[in-house]
Structure 1
Amino acid sequence: MEHWTERQIPDLVGRTAVVTGANSGLGFEVARELSAHGAHVVMACRSQERGASAAEKVEAAGPRGSVEVAALDLADLDSVAAFAAGFQAHHGRLDVLVNNAGIMTPPFSRTKQGFEMQFGVNHLGHFALTGQLLPTLLATPDSRVTTVTSTGQHIGRIELDDLNWERRKYRPLAAYGQSKLANVLFTLELQNLLAAAGAHVRATTAHPGWSKSNLSRTQGWLMDKVLDPYLGTPTLHGARPILRAATDPYAAGGSLWSPTYMYEHRGPVSAGRIAKRAQDADLARRLWEVSVGLTNVDYAPLAQGERVRA
């Protein structure tokens, strides 16, 4: 069977997409391919300068679609709310939301609202963004939310009584694993709520394997000089699982897509493994409730059990 590549992305003319962290790495490749296949892509970037430079590169390739740049800082829930309000004021549809932006194992720091930075950006920022864009997603037929996780989901543990590392000694890799496990738990619970509401929105997740992006720049010489050259793949290859999760008509809600070989680090795209802890439905519900409380985003009308259809 022919391996899935970006050539199999369907015609996206007339569709609108939002890609977070679209100015570089995986997000840039995803934005470039979506626009190449006809979509209008909102490149949601923390740095407007880097976003504008990335948009120029996309436009220089002569895409069938178009791009625009909008400010989004996932470490600030006020910025998330402003982005969502601005998007919905100017766009009547949202076909694909790609929750891509993320950080990996930085020194300890906190978001504007006081959350541990990795949990705040990788999970809570995207949780709030998706919830605030939900009305437009629900109003768009066959829309999709694709959230990017990593193999870090398999080492992750959710400590509901200390999500923000206030009582534990901060361990960067453990905090990263917690945030990436949270991404999958979020996807599965979101899909459950969407299905219960009868919504024509699918929630999928994907991870890039070992991609040579700038995400691992804080990992030091071992990553840069040894592991990246041996395991790393070009960013376009790493973007393929994300693109498949976001565009393949046959990608079911709740599915995870990843590379196939070397413990899902590289190779063609296939259905990936969901961590055992991510399949804990009770944990998913509890994390959801905590996330609602921390972000003050309640996912109405899904939270009210309403039946909704685009």
Structure 2
Amino acid sequence: MTAEEVARGVDLAGQVALVTGGSSGLGLETVRVLAACGARICVPAIDPLVARAALRGIDGVDVWPLDLIDGVSIKTFATAFLERQSRLDILILNAGVMARPLFRDQEGHEGHFSINYLGHFRLTALLWPALIAAAKSRVVILSSRGHQICDVDLDDLDFVRRPYDKWMAYGQSKTANALFAVALDTRGRRHGVRAFSVHPGMIMTPGIRHLSRSELDAFDAVAPDGSPIIDPARDMKTVGQGAGTTVWCATAAVLDSIGGVYCENCDVALIEPSEGFGVRPYAINLERAEKLWRASARLTGLDIAIT
């Protein structure tokens, strides 16, 4: 299903949403569909001018500066947001990077872990008052089938002791995001805050810009002319189809009493993957989710208590 099909009949008038990475690819489509449902949407962006140009023509969207690799930038953004908005109904943590050569943030954290996971952990913790104030809110975190590459190495999150591998770094960050949803939902459910992780599918978006043509050919992802192959049966989707599960997790009434789950194809995924689909048990393990949460709280100085 496409995001438009998922959202048919959904009324988000009066609701506030925030979508990281909302000015390109899956995020842009998510913003477009949620705005059409009546939501007021905040899109944080490293370059607000470029983001505003991409979002031109979509009503009800505000663009604010934010760099997820920079803790100071995240705090500045969150403070400004809370001063202007008393509630946050939908938080979609969509921004991310994939399979880049080794890079680190200013604190020395490996880049995929820093942007894909730790920056979103910081942002969510700082925006927690607004999520609670909405009384009934949802957090949707973009994981990926890439979580099947590896578990989180809690003893070497930043590739200090082990050799760096860009796919292992990407896979670890996506497993971290699935575990994030588990631990966050544990903290939020009593406050009406539910969390979900999502695999959108294999989609040709700007996020693949660091992949070589040979790597894309290895995934059988592009036709000889360079155009993307669309074959949903093999998880190769359009941007509209890829955004479908995100919008489903953000809006579907059937999920009102569910949370902390990994979703794909507009459904809760099966455990123990078959032919690539489904979720690895380690990515939804509560004990590992809590260990990662405690490590993240130590690294950031931010926490949300279980009450």
Q: TM bucket by the smaller chain?
A: 0.7 to 0.9
CA-based RMSD: 1.9
Written as runs of structure 1 = structure 2, the 5 A alignment for 1:204-283 is 204-224=196-216, 226-228=220-222, 229-230=228-229, 231=231, 232-251=236-255, 252-259=258-265, 269-272=266-269, 273-283=278-288
Counterpart residue number, 1:289: 294
8 Å Cα contact 1:6/1:33 also seen in 2: no
Following superposition, the deviation at residue 70 of structure 1 comes to 0.7
Mapped partners of 1:112, 1:6: distance in 2: 40
Query: After the TM superposition, which residues 124-273 of structure 1 pair with which residues of structure 2 at under 5 Å, given as runs?
Result: 124-195=118-189, 198-224=190-216, 226-228=220-222, 229-230=228-229, 231=231, 232-251=236-255, 252-259=258-265, 269-272=266-269, 273=278
Matched, 1:79 2:73: yes
Distance 1:163 1:2 in 2: 35
Q: Residues 257 and 29 of structure 1: is their aligned pair in 2 closer, same or farther, counting only changes over 3 Å? A: same
How many residue pairs were aligned? 285
Alpha-carbon separation, structure 1, partners of 2:104 and 2:90: 29
Output one character per residue of 1:164-192: Cα deviation in whole Å (capped at 9) or x when no partner.
Answer: 01111110000100000000101001111
The one-letter amino acid paired with 1:79 is S
SS in 2 for 1:68: strand
Same amino acid, percent of matched pairs? 35
Partner Cα distance (1:280, 1:58) in 2: 39
Which sits farther off after the overlay, 215-224 or 244-253?
215-224
CA distance 1:173–1:9, shift in 2 (3 Å): farther
Cα distance in 1 for residues equivalent to 2:17 and 2:173: 24
Q: Which residue of 2 aligns with 1:25?
A: 25
Q: Shift of residue 3 of structure 1?
A: 11
DSSP-derived class of the 2:96 partner: coil
Shift of 1:83: 0.9
Per-residue CA deviation, residues 13-58 of structure 1 (Å, 9 max, x unaligned), is 1000000011100111111111111000001111112211122142
The worse-fitting range, judged by mean Cα deviation, of 205-214 and 34-43 is 205-214
- Deviation at 1:7? 3.8
Taking structure 1 as the reference length, what is the TM-score of the superposition?
0.87
Following the alignment from structure 1 to structure 2, what is the Cα–Cα distance between the partners of residues 119 and 77?
Answer: 13
Separation (CA, whole Å) in 2 of partners of 1:13 and 1:74: 28
Q: Is the 8 A contact 1:187 1:254 kept in 2?
A: yes
Residue of structure 2 in register with 1:266 after alignment: none
**Distance in structure 2 (CA, Å) of the matches to 1:96 and 1:237:** 20
Q: In structure 2, what is the Cα distance between the partners aligned to 1:112 and 1:3?
A: 36
Distance 1:236 1:73 in 2: 26
For 1:224 and 1:155, the matched residues in 2 are separated by 17
Does the residue aligned with 2:92 lie in a helix, a strand or coil? strand
Is the alpha carbon distance of 1:170 and 1:52 closer, same or farther for their aligned partners in structure 2, counting shifts above 3 Å?
Answer: same
Q: Please give the alpha-carbon distance, in whole angstroms, between the structure 1 residues aligned to 2:261 and 2:253.
A: 12
| Alignment partners' CA distance in 2, 1:213 and 1:36 | 22
The residue type equivalent to 2:301 in the other structure is: N
Q: Which runs of 5+ in 2 are unaligned?
A: 223-227, 270-277
Distance 1:44 1:212, change over 3 A: same
Bigger drift between 12-21 and 43-52 goes to 43-52
Give yes or no for the alignment of 1:15 onto 2:15.
yes
Deviations 1:189-213 (A, max 9, x none): 1111223xx2111111211111121
- Per-residue deviation at 1:2? 12
The separation in 2 between residues aligned to 1:162 and 1:10, in whole angstroms, is 43
> In structure 2, what residue type is equivalent to 1:44?
P
Relative to structure 1, the CA distance from residue 8 to residue 205 in structure 2 (aligned partners, 3 Å threshold; closer, same or farther) is farther
